[in-house]
């Protein structure tokens, strides 16, 4: 019950944000939401299925490149670009997932990292298509539909991002509560038992891997027009690792937690980076302390305290 | 391809395999004893390279640096293990992986703070400068040294593990993780020791690599990705596996770079894919 | 009457170690068969071979007249073969009800309903609650499985298998680690299941009282081979069994 109130409150806050916030604050919030969606997608595989991917940024990056190319070369409306980015990430995730889900736990983590570095290298080297290390700049924020209104203004683009993220959250919540989502949690808890109860977990793992990659691709597809560029940086392992940090900070296996985790994480980064350019040392240290002392993350710990009270 | 070319490629592959073995053997060893995949392992390789730069700059000599740097890196590693990892061995393995990831970030950024963003070169010692003629082609002496070093360290690690009491204990623990409990109070010390020794090996790899590759930011992540591929191919926790995996990856990268310069990495991944289909637990790994 | 489950010259080696050799069994429908044998006799390996968790290195497994040797554990389970494990194997951080519900769902299908699926969830929940009630766990349905006492966790595992309405139920040491009172209760439950659900049960058990109390027939394994098979009274009298097994216990 309390959760529902908090959710309604958050929705209202998102709705009034464009009027309440200054322009640069709204831009920061847009950023937070995009990375919130990225962390949310990672939680689907990490928190609900127990598969820790060290290469999730690859799908964020694929989404960014997919959407950037569609916007630059074909000047399609934003939803087309979002779809293209998400689909590109999902399609590439099929072969990668097929290989990676043959392995378990730590092997899976290593494989996802290795494949992500491969995709990063491809993005880096395929200069004709991706612009190499410079990436693709000048990605336009086009229109809402063919001949429709422009979404170039900060308010309009914020609305596109907020709606995408809220819808994604709703879909993901339904997904984890569905028969499929329940099966994923059983796989996370005990794979051998799952097998002896009559199903092969690999098909489930591959499916959720592709779904998670698709949502990460959507986040990337929002990122490219928002920031106006796509570059190999957004596929780099550091972003994959930051995704893991967001999920852990917010609370693994809670969906909302990772979004909050992403926000907290980026805000900490913002604050630290105004004092020192070497903020990564401090975020790294905070992360290490979180892993040791608060494995449930912010939301997980809050829930535990709430049930105890 | 001429005979000279073949010899040159072969030596290149062996030199690369030697470096990869120094890193992947430690990764594998740590997994065998601690059941932890150390994401920060590549960063210790990088630390070795940068410490090597400092040491050569201060002392002016390469050889003492080669001996001095690995233990220093090892001590740094052992201290980090004792101050962080030690507390979370009872958690699911993924938390340990995450923790070492955090350590990797901290170390990588610390190196940037201390040494700055530009790559730093190291002069090879006078003895190893220049080239020698082998089968009609001139081959850099330093690479030959790397081949020898890789083989020598491989042999030493092998002897330590098979012929000494400590090695026996370590292998027993690696083969049967429940054995760790039988060691009782010693298990904490064995873990720290093994972690430190593995970091020292990586550090040795780094300081040896520096004259060839320079010391640069990002060398840690690129070597850890290669080392992951090595242990996936060879089997995590197996020293012969990481030897075989290093040779395969070394060969794949060298010949890949020769024939398909733009897509050299693809060859390595194709090999790994094939292994995964037919032996998901690696060439020398044990089936779950 | 044809056998529900047959194994023909079944064998499994781990490297040089021959864990199971030449095991030929026939379990009739409705039978409660116990497999006994000293530690390391290959009982659990045999269970893994029958349930499909391990591929055999020799021999065949035939279930309901179909050769299932080449099938994996999931396919065998869907054909009506459910099992429990010697070391309790449940979904620890899910509720007791969800443990059983997921067992029903995995067998029944429709697992790829990605969204919605409310009606399906309700249907499997009803069957799960029936199974829990049958094992006397209905009062604990909403607790986390990991918080149950050991005895109830063992029962939960049986509830998961029973809820799948299998033809053949494989129980791997169901009374392992239970107190005498819990053991008696579990024996009662197993007898009740066998009767009420007309189940065929294959049981691996250490506790001789349980075995002689429950089993219609007993198969004795020793060093991976069948050394005797018969009614409980025959087994009790069998000299070879005495020597190999009962003698060492007494």
Q: Which residues of B touch A238 (CB under 8 A)?
A: 105
**What are the CA-CA distances from residue B2 to residues B139, B282, C31 (Å)?**
15, 34, 74
Q: What is the 3-state secondary structure (H, E, C) of chain B?
A: CCHHHHHHHHHHHHHHHHHHHHHHHHHHHHHHHHCCCCCCHHHHHHHHHHHHHHHHHHHCCHHHHHHHHHHHHHHHHHHHHHHCHHHHCCCCHHHHHHHHHHHHHHHHHHHHHHHCCCCECCCCCHHHCCEEEECCEEEEHHHHHHHHHHHHHHHHHHHHHHHCHHHHHHHHHHHCCCHHHHCCCHHHHHHHHHHHHHHHHHHHHHHHHHHHHCECCCHHHHHHHHHHHHHHHHCCCCHHHHHHHHHHHHHHHHHHHHHCHHHHHHHHHHHHHHHHHHCCCCCCCCCC
CB contact under 8 A, A105 and B113: no
* DSSP, res C87: S
Identity of the residue in A102, A104, A288 whose CB atom sits nearest the CB atom of B99: A288
CB contact under 8 A, B229 and A104: no
Check CB contact of B189 with chain A, cutoff 8 Å.
no
The burial class, CB within 10 Å (0-12 / 13-18 / 19+), for C240 is exposed
Check CB contact of B138 with chain A, cutoff 8 Å.
no
Q: Give the helix/strand (H/E) hosting C201.
A: strand C200-204
CB contact under 8 A, A114 and B99: no
In this structure, are residues B282 and B238 in contact, taking their beta carbons and an 8 Å threshold?
yes
Q: Which residues of C touch A207 (CB under 8 A)?
A: 112
What is the reported pLDDT for B97?
Answer: 83
Q: Which residues of A touch B265 (CB under 8 A)?
A: 118, 121
What is the reported pLDDT for C84?
Answer: 94
Q: What is the mean pLDDT of residues A247-271?
A: 90
Q: What is the mean pLDDT of residues A205-214?
A: 98
Residue with tokens 């309700």: C122
The rounded distance, in Å, linking the Cα atoms of B84 and C73 is 41
Q: Which of A160-169, B4-13, B175-184, C89-98 has the lowest mean pLDDT?
A: B175-184
In this structure, are residues C211 and C205 in contact, taking their beta carbons and an 8 Å threshold?
yes
What is the reported pLDDT for B206?
Answer: 94
- Tell me which chain A residue has its CA closest to the CA of residue C87: A193
User: Over the stretch B123-174, which tens digit does the pLDDT of each residue have?
Assistant: 888 888 888 877 777 888 888 888 888 889 888 888 888 888 877 777 777 6
Query: What is the average pLDDT score of chain B?
Result: 85
CB contact under 8 A, C117 and A198: no
Q: What is the mean pLDDT of residues C50-55?
A: 93
CB contact under 8 A, A199 and C111: yes
Question: Is the predicted pLDDT of residue C41 greater than 90, yes or no?
Answer: no
Q: Which residues of A touch C110 (CB under 8 A)?
A: 179
Q: Which of A164-173, A192-201, B267-276 has the lowest mean pLDDT?
A: B267-276
Identity of the residue in B103, B266, B277 whose CB atom sits nearest the CB atom of A288: B103
Q: Give the helix/strand (H/E) hosting A218.
A: helix A201-227
Q: Give domain limits for chain B.
A: 3-7+19-217
What are the strands, taking DSSP E only, across chain A? Answer: 136-137, 229-230
In this structure, are residues A209 and B59 in contact, taking their beta carbons and an 8 Å threshold?
no
Check CB contact of B274 with chain A, cutoff 8 Å.
no
Q: Which of A111-115, B4-8, B138-142 has the lowest mean pLDDT?
A: B4-8
CB contact under 8 A, B88 and A113: no
What tokens were used for B276? Answer: 């995964």
User: Over the stretch B28-71, which tens digit does the pLDDT of each residue have?
Assistant: 888 888 888 888 999 999 999 999 999 998 888 888 889 999 99
Question: Is the predicted pLDDT of residue C250 greater than 50, yes or no?
Answer: no
Q: What is the mean pLDDT of residues B192-197?
A: 92
When pLDDT is cut at 50, 70 and 90, the band that residue C102 belongs to is very high
Identity of the residue in A179, A186, A199 whose CB atom sits nearest the CB atom of C113: A179
Q: Give the helix/strand (H/E) hosting C83.
A: strand C81-83
Q: What is the mean pLDDT of residues A169-189?
A: 95
When pLDDT is cut at 50, 70 and 90, the band that residue C249 belongs to is very low
What is the reported pLDDT for C248?
Answer: 53
Check CB contact of A171 with chain C, cutoff 8 Å.
yes
Q: What is the CA radius of gyration of chain A?
A: 19
Question: Residue A286: which of B103, B111, B112 has the closest Cα?
Answer: B103
Question: Is the predicted pLDDT of residue C21 greater than 60, yes or no?
Answer: yes
Q: Give domain limits for chain A.
A: 20-235
What is the reported pLDDT for B127?
Answer: 82
State the smallest CA–CA distance between residue B131 and chain A in angstroms.
Answer: 32
Burial of C99-113, coded b for 16+ CB within 10 Å and e otherwise, reads bbbbbbbbbbeebeb
Q: What is the mean pLDDT of residues A278-287?
A: 85
* DSSP, res A150: B
Q: What is the mean pLDDT of residues A268-279?
A: 84
In this complex, the chains that touch C, judged by 3 or more CB pairs closer than 8 A, are A
Selected residue of A196, A210, A215 to mutate for chain C interface (largest C Cβ count, 10 A): A196
Question: Is the predicted pLDDT of residue A28 greater than 90, yes or no?
Answer: yes
In a 13 Å sphere around the CA of A195, the CA atoms on its Cβ side amount to: 13
The burial class, CB within 10 Å (0-12 / 13-18 / 19+), for B41 is buried
Question: Is the predicted pLDDT of residue C221 greater than 80, yes or no?
Answer: yes
State the smallest CA–CA distance between residue B105 and chain A in angstroms.
Answer: 6
Q: Which of A46-50, A162-166, C41-45 has the lowest mean pLDDT?
A: C41-45
CB contact under 8 A, B105 and A281: yes
Q: Which residues of B touch A52 (CB under 8 A)?
A: 94, 97-98
User: Over the stretch A41-95, which tens digit does the pLDDT of each residue have?
Assistant: 999 999 999 999 989 999 999 999 999 999 999 989 999 999 999 999 999 999 9
Q: Give domain limits for chain C.
A: 1-80+166-250, 91-161
What is the reported pLDDT for C247?
Answer: 54
Selected residue of A106, A191, A251, A277 to mutate for chain B interface (largest B Cβ count, 10 A): A106
The burial class, CB within 10 Å (0-12 / 13-18 / 19+), for A97 is buried
CB contact under 8 A, B108 and A105: no
Question: Is the predicted pLDDT of residue A140 greater than 80, yes or no?
Answer: yes
Nearest 10 degrees: Cα torsion B63, B69, B71, B77: -160
Phi, psi for residue C217 in degrees, rounded to 5: -135, 155
Check CB contact of A52 with chain B, cutoff 8 Å.
yes
Q: Give the helix/strand (H/E) hosting C17.
A: strand C17-27
Identity of the residue in A106, A238, A280 whose CB atom sits nearest the CB atom of B97: A106
In this structure, are residues A169 and C107 in contact, taking their beta carbons and an 8 Å threshold?
no
Q: Which residues of B touch A237 (CB under 8 A)?
A: 221
The rounded distance, in Å, linking the Cα atoms of C175 and A282 is 53
In this structure, are residues C99 and C160 in contact, taking their beta carbons and an 8 Å threshold?
yes
User: Over the stretch B63-108, which tens digit does the pLDDT of each residue have?
Assistant: 888 999 999 999 999 999 999 988 888 887 778 888 998 899 899 9
Identity of the residue in A180, A196, A200 whose CB atom sits nearest the CB atom of C114: A180
Question: Is the predicted pLDDT of residue C1 greater than 60, yes or no?
Answer: no
Check CB contact of A168 with chain B, cutoff 8 Å.
no
Question: Is the predicted pLDDT of residue B179 greater than 70, yes or no?
Answer: no
Question: Residue C32: which of C166, C199, C206, C235 has the closest Cα?
Answer: C199
Check CB contact of C123 with chain A, cutoff 8 Å.
no
Q: What is the mean pLDDT of residues C152-168?
A: 94
In this structure, are residues A212 and A45 in contact, taking their beta carbons and an 8 Å threshold?
yes
CB contact under 8 A, B95 and A285: no
Question: Residue B78: which of B188, B220, B237 has the closest Cα?
Answer: B188
CB contact under 8 A, C94 and A180: no
The rounded distance, in Å, linking the Cα atoms of B272 and A29 is 42
State the smallest CA–CA distance between residue C220 and chain A in angstroms.
Answer: 25
The rounded distance, in Å, linking the Cα atoms of B272 and C228 is 49
- Cβ neighbours around A11 below 10 Å, total: 12
CB contact under 8 A, A183 and C102: yes
Q: Which residues of B touch A114 (CB under 8 A)?
A: 225, 228-229, 232, 269, 272
| Choices 3.40.50.300, 3.40.50.9100, 3.90.550.10, 3.40.50.970: CATH for C1-80+166-250 | 3.40.50.300
Query: What is the average pLDDT score of chain A?
Result: 91
- Tell me which chain C residue has its CA closest to the CA of residue A191: C91
**Neighbouring residues of C28: CB distance < 8 A, sequence distance ≥ 6:** C1, C3, C4, C200
What is the reported pLDDT for B279?
Answer: 80
Distance of CA C84 to the CA centre of its chain: 5
What is the reported pLDDT for B263?
Answer: 66
What is the reported pLDDT for B154?
Answer: 84
Question: Is the predicted pLDDT of residue A275 greater than 70, yes or no?
Answer: yes
The rounded distance, in Å, linking the Cα atoms of A192 and A199 is 10
What is the percent of chain B where pLDDT is above 70?
92
* pTM (predicted TM-score): 0.88
């Amino acid at each position: 019950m309390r959760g529902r109130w908090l959710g309604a409150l958050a929705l209202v806050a998102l709705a009034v944000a464009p009027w309440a916030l200054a322009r640069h604050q709204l831009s920061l919030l847009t950023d937070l939401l995009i990375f919130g969606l990225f962390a949310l997608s990672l939680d689907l595989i990490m928190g609900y299925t127990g598969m820790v991917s060290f290469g999730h940024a690859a799908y964020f990056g694929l989404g960014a490149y997919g959407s950037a190319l569609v916007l630059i070369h074909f000047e399609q409306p934003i939803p087309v670009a979002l779809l293209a980015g998400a689909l590109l990430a999902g399609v590439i995730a099929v072969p990668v997932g097929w290989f990676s889900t043959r392995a378990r736990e730590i092997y899976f983590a290593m494989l996802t990292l290795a494949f992500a570095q491969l995709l990063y290298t491809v993005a880096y080297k395929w200069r004709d298509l991706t612009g190499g290390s410079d990436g693709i700049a000048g990605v336009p924020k086009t229109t809402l539909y063919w001949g429709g209104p422009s979404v170039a203004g900060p308010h309009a683009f914020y609305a596109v991002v907020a709606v995408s993220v809220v819808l994604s959250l709703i879909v993901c919540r339904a997904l984890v509560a569905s028969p499929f989502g329940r099966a994923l949690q059983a796989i996370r808890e005990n794979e051998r038992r799952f097998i002896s109860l009559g199903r092969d977990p690999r098909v489930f793992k591959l499916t959720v891997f592709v779904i998670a990659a698709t949502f990460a691709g959507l986040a990337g597809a929002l990122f490219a027009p928002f920031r106006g560029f796509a570059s190999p940086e957004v596929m780099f392992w550091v972003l994959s690792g930051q995704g893991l940090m967001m999920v852990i900070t917010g609370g693994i296996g809670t969906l909302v937690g990772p979004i909050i985790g992403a926000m907290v994480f980026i805000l900490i980064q913002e604050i630290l980076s105004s004092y020192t350019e070497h903020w990564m040392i401090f975020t790294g240290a905070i992360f290490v302390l979180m892993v040791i002392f608060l494995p449930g993350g912010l939301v997980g710990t809050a829930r535990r305290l709430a049930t105890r009270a | 391809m001429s005979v000279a070319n073949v010899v040159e490629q072969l030596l290149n592959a062996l030199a690369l395999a030697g470096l990869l073995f120094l890193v992947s053997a430690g990764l594998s060893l740590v997994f065998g004893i601690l059941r932890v995949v150390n994401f920060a392992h590549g960063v210790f390789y990088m630390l070795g390279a940068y410490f090597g730069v400092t040491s050569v700059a201060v002392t002016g000599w390469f050889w003492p640096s080669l001996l001095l740097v690995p233990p220093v890196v090892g001590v740094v590693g052992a201290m980090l293990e004792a101050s962080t990892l030690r507390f979370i061995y009872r958690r699911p393995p993924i938390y340990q992986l995450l923790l070492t990831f955090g350590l990797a970030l901290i170390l990588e950024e610390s190196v940037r703070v201390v040494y700055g963003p530009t790559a730093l070169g190291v002069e090879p010692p006078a003895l190893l400068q220049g080239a020698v003629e082998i089968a009609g082609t001139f081959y850099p002496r330093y690479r030959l040294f790397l081949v020898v070093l890789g083989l020598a360290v491989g042999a030493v690690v092998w002897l330590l593990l098979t012929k000494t009491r400590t090695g026996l204990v370590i292998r027993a623990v690696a083969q049967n993780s429940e054995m760790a409990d039988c060691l009782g109070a010693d298990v904490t010390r064995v873990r720290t020791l093994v972690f430190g020794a593995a970091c020292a090996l990586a550090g040795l790899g780094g300081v040896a690599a520096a004259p060839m590759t320079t010391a640069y930011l990002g060398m840690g992540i690129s070597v850890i990705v290669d080392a992951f591929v090595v242990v996936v191919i060879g089997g995590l926790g197996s020293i012969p596996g990481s030897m075989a995996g290093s040779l395969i990856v070394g060969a794949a990268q060298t010949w890949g770079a020769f024939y398909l310069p733009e897509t050299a990495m693809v060859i390595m991944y194709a090999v790994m894919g094939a292994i995964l289909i037919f032996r998901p637990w690696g060439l020398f790994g044990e089936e779950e | 009457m044809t056998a529900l489950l047959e194994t023909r010259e079944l064998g499994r080696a781990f490297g040089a170690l021959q864990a199971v050799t030449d095991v030929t069994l026939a379990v009739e429908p409705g039978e409660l068969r116990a497999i006994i044998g000293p530690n390391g006799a290959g009982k659990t390996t045999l269970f893994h071979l029958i349930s499909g968790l391990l591929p055999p290195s020799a021999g065949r497994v035939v279930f309901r007249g179909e050769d299932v040797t080449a099938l994996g554990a999931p396919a065998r389970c869907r054909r009506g073969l459910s099992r429990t494990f010697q070391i309790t194997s449940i979904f620890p951080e899910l509720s007791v009800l969800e443990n059983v519900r997921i067992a029903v769902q995995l067998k029944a299908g429709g697992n790829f309903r990605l969204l919605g699926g409310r009606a399906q969830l309700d249907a499997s929940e009803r069957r799960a609650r029936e199974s829990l009630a049958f094992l006397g766990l209905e009062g604990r349905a909403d607790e986390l499985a990991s918080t149950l006492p050991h005895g109830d966790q063992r029962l939960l595992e049986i509830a998961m298998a029973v809820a799948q309405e299998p033809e053949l139920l494989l129980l791997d040491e169901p009374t392992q680690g239970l107190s005498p009172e819990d053991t008696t209760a579990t024996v009662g439950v197993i007898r009740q299941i066998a009767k009420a659900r007309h189940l065929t049960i294959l049981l691996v058990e250490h506790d001789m009282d349980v075995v002689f109390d429950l089993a219609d027939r007993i198969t004795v394994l020793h060093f991976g081979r069948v050394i005797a098979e018969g009614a409980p009274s025959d087994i009790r009298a069998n000299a070879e069994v005495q020597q190999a097994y009962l003698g060492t216990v007494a």
